[in-house]
Amino acid sequence: MAEPREPQKPQEHNVPMITLSDGNRIPQVGLGVLRIDDEGVTPVVENAIAVGYRHIDGAAGYNNEAGVGRALANTGYNTGDKRADIWVTTKLRDSEQGYDSARKAFDRQLGLLQLEYVDMYMLHWPTPFDWRSGETWKAFAEFRAEGRVKTLGVCNFLPEHLDRLHEETGEYPAINQIELHPTWQQREVVAYCKEHGIAIEAYSPMARGADLNAGDGTIERIAQAHHVSPAQAILRWHIENGTIIIPKSVHAQRQKENLDLFGFALTQEEHAAIDALDGPTRAGHDPLTFTYA
């Protein structure tokens, strides 16, 4: 069993940067802000910045962009050198897909965030039953040309959706943000993305908490062996896979914990034991049928 270890101080985290196909670099760990109301999200993001997060994952659909914007303004991370030191993602509502509506929505979102640009703008769901990704992408490419978005991404795209987007626009997104955790590993989507230079970003990286006791105590046992929490064992597995992760927590202590992933490593056997937990246990929605209006 490994020696007990001291938690790292924020400045020692050294979160790795992942280089994307467009040349931009994204911190491998960010904070997710789904299901936090607009008022509540401001102190949550301020605290995350204080403990060392330099990557925030938001969306129009989370109805808290103004609150995220206040946190960035209050901490000075909305302008100048500090702005350059943080990665801010937001996403377009499915109901606002389409060229004209995306242009309007994006102006509104930047205003709420009090930012001149976002690091990444994403299509939130592919909505194949109401496909408008190709025409929406034209607006996205303009935002990038205007310098108001650095990286273009998608969420929840299956290979058939990535193929279709590529046929219509000649481009693949730099990132595909998908549900990915030990009991839902989506290996075919991951393999397709690797083959096409698309980085994988895992949402619900702990299955919203459900995977913390996955595998009949497997995660717990691995965590104990390293004197870390089950959350850290799972998040470390993602890090070792090269996946970008955006765990969500409103609690300061958990935020710290979820960033403290770089002072230990899983053994090959432990890593393989988490690989072996793969199963059909989706925690969220099916991209073939779901829309997040």
Rounded CA-CA distance 187/201 in Å is 13
Tokens of 43: 């102190």
170 or 255: CB nearest ligand NAP: 255
Annotated binding residue at 161?
no
User: Angle at which helices 230-240 and 252-259 pack, to 10 degrees?
Assistant: 40
Pick from 107, 188, 251, 286 the residue near ligand NAP by CB under 6 A. 251
Place of tokens 């050294």: 14
Question: Is 203 among the catalytic positions?
Answer: no
Shortest spacing between CB 209 and ligand NAP, in angstroms: 4
Pick from 208, 227, 271, 282 the residue near ligand NAP by CB under 6 A. 208
Rounded CA-CA distance 117/146 in Å is 9
Shortest spacing between CB 81 and ligand NAP, in angstroms: 26
Shortest spacing between CB 63 and ligand NAP, in angstroms: 13
Binding to ligand NAP (CB under 6 A) within 12-71 occurs at 32-34, 57
Q: Would you tell me how many other CB atoms lie within 10 Å of the CB of residue 65? A: 26
Where helices occur in 60-199 by DSSP H, the ranges are 65-74, 80-84, 99-113, 133-145, 159-169, 187-195
Q: Alpha carbon 258 to chain centroid distance?
A: 13
Beta-carbon contacts of 191 under 8 Å, excluding residues fewer than 6 positions away, are none
Shortest spacing between CB 282 and ligand NAP, in angstroms: 11
Q: In one letter, which amino acid is 15?
A: V
Pick from 47, 78, 97, 177 the residue near ligand NAP by CB under 6 A. 177
Pick from 26, 154, 155, 273 the residue near ligand NAP by CB under 6 A. 155
Q: What is the CA radius of gyration of the chain?
A: 18
204 binds ligand NAP (CB under 6 A): yes
The binding site for substrate comprises 124
- Residues with active-site annotation: 62
- Give contact residues for ligand NAP (rule: CB under 6 A): 32-34, 57, 124, 155-156, 177, 203-209, 212, 229, 231, 246-251, 254, 257-258, 284
